[in-house]
Structure 1
């Protein structure tokens, strides 16, 4: 080692015993000649880039991140300071942030009013310039919910309405081979549907591996009720431990428009369609979906 030696002209004085081969890295100790490093589809991490560089690989072929057009809709939406009958627009920014986390490159445009001509123009432009398009709002069956109808004129609505709570009125569509996801306008429903449908779509389009959400086993402190035939996403908060296991309580604010029920929760419990809920004391899996890339 250099601290045990000193160079003096054309000689080196060594001040400690040196066994043969000590402090010498053999060829192939890190990466051997012809060694297989990564398969196609592997998502490169910082340590992977360091290993490739050390092995003399300066460039690799990668897939581009999918571009995603994010279109919030609704004539009642405003950027700030809402008046009577107005609502602050949050879905566009929220969805755009999730798109970035899930591997996409979002382009968020301004709010599109509930007018069929305006919606048709905005969706057409987004489809022509992005790999994926996602709209928020206007996906239900109300008098001002025109998004599925407009998309049907431009392409094909494959699915309109799913057995999820919250998040029933989502629409899954295709326009000119471009996937279009029409999310509901209620913030919690939009997030649930984005996690269930937009996230795996971006993984598929971006050729990225689909990973499961991290989960934690916890004990329910209060009963969860669920409607049979519907998959429910019940937000829960952690408030202590029982016999070394965390305990969780369903949030009392369960409406699709109560954004704090998601933002202040520690995860959600998925109640399957064939179950009417879980009793207090049941051990359940809490999906920590916010930590998923």
Structure 2
């Protein structure tokens, strides 16, 4: 049985193994509760502020537009001078200027019109714009075939943004469109939270960076995890490989306690060379060791001198799954960044995905587009939804890349996402609708 609320770590992990495994949501909650968001703030110009979390509310410094402007190409007029104008009985106005005007220098007086372009400032005295297709110029006169009302085809002051309007709350993550809005209201620098720092420590005496001899393995977890941290909004420091030695591991962790988060790869299980949980427990506290998820249940989560330590398993797929489930939320939490769920695609399985009851299984899948279907041609039920037979034809197909194997990195790299089988299911049958999490597409 899983023990979602167990607070005590077995005194001898190598003997006890993983008889009790914490449910994934409880494990995540436990480490997030132990972590404190940092308070470091910096002031940045707009381009480097992209993707950063605001540290203060932002209000508009000016209205947009801050002048009345023409919303159409045409002629600026007094609306009252066009009343009664029609195709049969056009209104006659005097042309105020031979050249198109985009400034208020030429005022609009009684029965007078000034040429304007979309976005140009409305001349003094004008209160409306007649579209260019509704007039005809004859010499110095303008025949108006359509009456306009006060304010018609005119963008008022503050139509887009009012002066003093609240634009963003603290904690909002800035997007490219936000940067354009800020620039439009006269803001060129903002207060944002610094990106959280993460020390990434690959461990294992068998790891090398290149040219492996028999029995050696090229280090990939640290590279992958550091790049994920960067994508999630953190600043990774990718360290050299640390061998399976208690003193070396202790020193490596202590060195990176200046970071907001320490993450290690390998050495988190209960084997003779899995020393990290003991080292972390000696330096601080292991909060969780063994989680009810697959692949990667030997993950461990701890805290040392108020710095969370994420001990990822050494198998590549297990390391990635656990990084997404635990490291990503920590980066977001400590960096004041929104922890939005990954985008998902609804698909139909073409093969069965087995799962152990009480364990959340992450099955890697490839997604292929279904047959193109037209909503207009499909039959629908009374509630407006597409009928099952029509819908099944148009849904994408999800194909597992590998049913098991946490050491097969290609099963993730060649997948489009994964299907998370919840703890209360014994898997999904072929033909079932599933949500494919596109975790690598999310920031």
1:216 aligns with: 345
1:75 aligns with: 205
**Match for 2:273 among 122, 128, 144?**
144
In the aligned structure 1, how far is the partner of 2:369 from the partner of 2:223?
33
Once the two structures are TM-superposed, the CA of residue 251 in structure 1 deviates from its matched residue by 1.7
Asked if the contact 2:360–2:421 (Cα under 8 Å) also holds between the matched residues in 1, the reply is: yes
| 55-64 or 186-195: bigger deviation | 55-64
Matched, 1:56 2:191: no
1:273 aligns with: 423
2:314 aligns with: 185
In the aligned structure 2, how far is the partner of 1:245 from the partner of 1:53?
42
CA deviation string 1:20-55 (max 9, x = no partner): 354875321222122111111100112212211221
Once the two structures are TM-superposed, the CA of residue 56 in structure 1 deviates from its matched residue by 1.9
Once the two structures are TM-superposed, the CA of residue 75 in structure 1 deviates from its matched residue by 0.4
Measured at CA, do residues 285 and 25 of structure 1 come closer, stay the same or move farther in structure 2, by a change above 3 Å? same
TM-score (norm 1): 0.92
Measured at CA, do residues 140 and 57 of structure 1 come closer, stay the same or move farther in structure 2, by a change above 3 Å? same
SS in 1 for 2:412: helix
In the aligned structure 1, how far is the partner of 2:349 from the partner of 2:156?
56
TM-score (norm 2): 0.62
1:108 aligns with: 238
1:18 aligns with: 115
Runs of 4+ in 1 over 6 A off after TM superposition: none
In the aligned structure 1, how far is the partner of 2:402 from the partner of 2:195?
38
Asked if the contact 1:240–1:248 (Cα under 8 Å) also holds between the matched residues in 2, the reply is: no
Once the two structures are TM-superposed, the CA of residue 123 in structure 1 deviates from its matched residue by 0.4
1:8 aligns with: none
SS in 1 for 2:251: helix
Q: What aligned pairs does 1:142-291 form with structure 2 within 5 A after superposition?
A: 142-241=271-370, 242-252=392-402, 254-291=404-441
Matched, 1:120 2:205: no
2:59 aligns with: none
Asked if the contact 2:358–2:424 (Cα under 8 Å) also holds between the matched residues in 1, the reply is: yes
SS in 2 for 1:225: coil
Q: Provide the aligned C-alpha RMSD in A.
A: 2.0
CA deviation string 1:124-152 (max 9, x = no partner): 0011x211110000000000010111111
| 248-257 or 98-107: bigger deviation | 248-257
| 249-258 or 198-207: bigger deviation | 249-258
In the aligned structure 1, how far is the partner of 2:176 from the partner of 2:400?
38
1:7 aligns with: none
Asked if the contact 2:97–2:114 (Cα under 8 Å) also holds between the matched residues in 1, the reply is: no
**Match for 1:98 among 218, 221, 228?**
228
In the aligned structure 2, how far is the partner of 1:173 from the partner of 1:266?
31
In the aligned structure 2, how far is the partner of 1:24 from the partner of 1:96?
52
In the aligned structure 2, how far is the partner of 1:229 from the partner of 1:24?
63
In the aligned structure 2, how far is the partner of 1:279 from the partner of 1:226?
11
Gaps of 5+ in 2: 1-69, 75-95, 101-112, 117-125, 130-152, 371-391
Q: What aligned pairs does 1:31-42 form with structure 2 within 5 A after superposition?
A: 31-42=161-172
Asked if the contact 2:363–2:402 (Cα under 8 Å) also holds between the matched residues in 1, the reply is: no
In the aligned structure 2, how far is the partner of 1:231 from the partner of 1:24?
58
Gaps of 5+ in 1: 5-10
In the aligned structure 2, how far is the partner of 1:287 from the partner of 1:58?
36
Larger radius of gyration: 2
CA deviation string 1:43-89 (max 9, x = no partner): 01122122112212233221110010000000000001111110000
Asked if the contact 1:216–1:285 (Cα under 8 Å) also holds between the matched residues in 2, the reply is: yes
Q: Which has the higher contact order (CA 8 A, sep 6+)?
A: 2
Once the two structures are TM-superposed, the CA of residue 237 in structure 1 deviates from its matched residue by 1.3
SS in 2 for 1:14: coil
